[in-house]
Amino acid sequence: DAKTTQPTSMDCAEGRAANLPCNHSTISGNEYVYWYRQIHSQGPQYIIHGLKNNETNEMASLIITEDRKSSTLILPHATLRDTAVYYCIATDSNYQLIWGAGTKLIIKP
Amino acid sequence: ETGVTQTPRHLVMGMTNKKSLKCEQHLGHNAMYWYKQSAKKPLELMFVYNFKEQTENNSVPSRFSPECPNSSHLFLHLHTLQPEDSALYLCASSQRTDSSYNEQFFGPGTRLTVL
């Protein structure tokens, strides 16, 4: 079973910030949280990962709560091309990624 | 481009056919993966290779046979498949698989249809 829970779907207006929440209350202290996205029928694309600190790169920001029980992926200025399924992922005891159903994010003009 | 290529991109085969999927990574990674993604289902890990050695086989039926001749190439040999094996087959690579940090890079996938 996935260690993360995410909303099934979300909408966001083009040009606005998209905030995607994820709960991961059972991850251990040394487990990373990864975010990937998958545009329809393509391979998943890595977005960002974090352990304890907030992270930012050219695609997104990742805000992790101090207790590490949840995080939020922020796409600062969403475009139509950001429409995709977004996966918040933890790992199993063998360090393998555990994929859930993700959040279907729809960016609306 | 992620540095991971897969061929073919689309494959239609009968249940009695034998075919192979190919994956190649140009990232200098040591770990490679096969995943299966059926319609409306999460990605399912099938096989993991670390430094050419198979480290995981997640109860995959024997009609799927992986081969990893070197760290850059991964094959999935298919024989006597069933219609329910129709799915998107994804290959991924990472630096290594025995670390808590496991960023994976994915290929575009092979869309397989079994008739």
- B109 to A32: CB separation less than 8 angstroms, yes or no: no
Partners of A70 in beta bridges: A23
Fill in the amino acid letter for B30: N
Residue B114 φ/ψ region, left for φ over 0, alpha for ψ in the -120 to 50 degree band, beta for the rest? beta
Spatial distance between the Cα atoms of A41 and B84, rounded to a whole number of angstroms:
18
Partners of A104 in beta bridges: A9, A85
Q: Which of A43, A46, A100 sits opposite B42 (nearest CB)?
A: A100
**H/E run at residue B75:** strand B73-79
Structure confidence at residue A2 (pLDDT):
58
B102 contacts in chain A (CB < 8 Å) = 32, 34, 91, 95-97
Residue B99 neighbours by CB under 8 Å, 6+ apart: A95
- B5 in A contact zone (CB under 8 Å): no
Residues of chain B predicted below pLDDT 50: none
**Across A22-47, average pLDDT:** 89
Distance from CA of B16 to the nearest CA of A (A): 26
Predicted confidence (pLDDT) per residue in A5-31, tens digit: 999 999 999 999 999 999 998 888 778
